[in-house]
Structure formats: structure tokens, C-alpha cells
Amino acid sequence: MITPLKKTPLHDLLNKPVLFDANIFMVGIEDRISNKNCSFENMKQLYIQPLFESFTDIYIHNEVYKELDENAKKMVDTYIGKNVTIVKEDGVYGTDPLYTTIFNHIAGHELVNYKRGNSKDRGEVYSLAYAAYHKMNYFCSKEIMVDNIAHELKDLQDIDIITFDIIVLAAYIYYVHKNDFSNTKGLKSIYKRYCADVIKRHGLPKTLNEYIKASLEYL
């Protein structure tokens, strides 16, 4: 199976600087009205709270922060100044040739086609450009496009994409350390449903139990 944990075990990754994309906080948002299991409060308990309690050095680009709904923003706000830092572009686009080139390469990729000032909800473009420019090696995103272009663009060759399966794994381990297995069923469910794309792309086991067994040496 393909996983960045082979290079950086989970216990090390949790202490690395990691940029987070907006979609990590919005899993199941399309079903929140019709399915109470997809409510923000339920997702917060299942994996969002464990995420914030497990990762020690989280970065969120301001363009990503602006894409979050109010519930997610309130959650993020409680951790700012602790283990969460909001970062900005700070005027380097158009003034710093290196950053400008990196940004334009990402924005111009055929899977992105982002036009500054015209396109919306492209915080991942800013995040990836920030990561590449500042030599940050980890970006957490559920977006298939992000995973694909990170493997195709030379500018992003040093950035590992932390996919949603790793977030679910981190949440599971978080609760194991607390000897709390009350959320295991929910974590199994979101792994099966919301990791389906990365399971197929990265050749991951189809169930959370099998995935955990396959990941034991990378914890």
C-alpha cells in the first residue's frame, strides 16, 4: 500500500509542521442535514477533536480558514496560539520570483486552472505554494486533485500528502491511548465511506481493522 507513514512514522508525523486543507474539516458536510451521524458535532468527536489533540504543530493558510464554516472556525479558534498557526501569503506573490513561479505552476496545472481574483475555494493552491516556498514537507488534504498534482509537479516533490485515512488512524490511536473504544464503530464507518477514493488509489485495505494491522509497523 502507498502511505507517507513508511517514510515518517505516525508518532513522528504528529510532531511535524503540517498544513491542513479545509476539506479535512468538512467530511460528510453534504449529508449533515439528512444524517445525524454526519453532523459537525459527531465528526468533531470522531476525528476532529482527536486531530487537534494529537498534532502538535498545525498550520492553516488564511485562504483555507476563510473557506471553513462557522463551526469549524470556532473549533480552530480555540487552538490558535496553542498548536495552531494561521499563515498568510504576506504579499510575496508578484514580488518574490520564486514564490510567484511556484504559485503559477500549481495554479496553471490542468487539474487546477486557478485564476487569481476569479476562482473561489482554492485554498489548497495557496497552501501548497506556501508549503513548497517555506519548505514544509506535509500537507493534509482529502482532495484527490491535491494528491495527484503533488506527484506530478517538481515544485511539490518534497511534499507528502497526508490523506484522510491517516487522520482516521490518528483518531483511532488517540482513543486507544485513552482506552476508549466507544468511537471505533464510527471510525470504521467513516473509513469505509470517506476513504473509498484513497483506498482505491493507494491500494489500502478495505476495512479499518485490516488497515490498522497493515499500519502497525508505521505507528
Domain positions in the chain: 4-218
Which pLDDT band holds residue 15 (cuts at 50, 70, 90)? very high
Q: What is the pLDDT of residue 35?
A: 74
Are 25 and 41 a contacting pair, CB within 8 Å? no
Cβ-based neighbour number of residue 3 at 10 Å: 22
How far is residue 18 CA from its own chain's centroid? 8
Residue written as grid cell 483511532: 172
- Rg for the chain, CA atoms, rounded: 17
Q: What is the pLDDT of residue 75?
A: 93
pLDDT reading at 36 higher than 80: no
Q: What is the pLDDT of residue 33?
A: 65
Of the ranges 8-22, 47-61, 80-94, 145-159, which one carries the lowest mean pLDDT score?
A: 145-159
**Predicted confidence (pLDDT) per residue in 114-141, tens digit:** 888 776 668 889 999 999 999 999 999 8
pLDDT reading at 187 higher than 70: yes
Q: What is the pLDDT of residue 210?
A: 96
H-state helical runs in the chain? 10-13, 40-43, 49-54, 62-65, 70-77, 97-107, 123-133, 144-152, 164-177, 184-194, 196-202, 208-215
Q: Comparing C-alpha atoms, which of 28, 55, 45, 82 is closest to residue 170?
A: 55
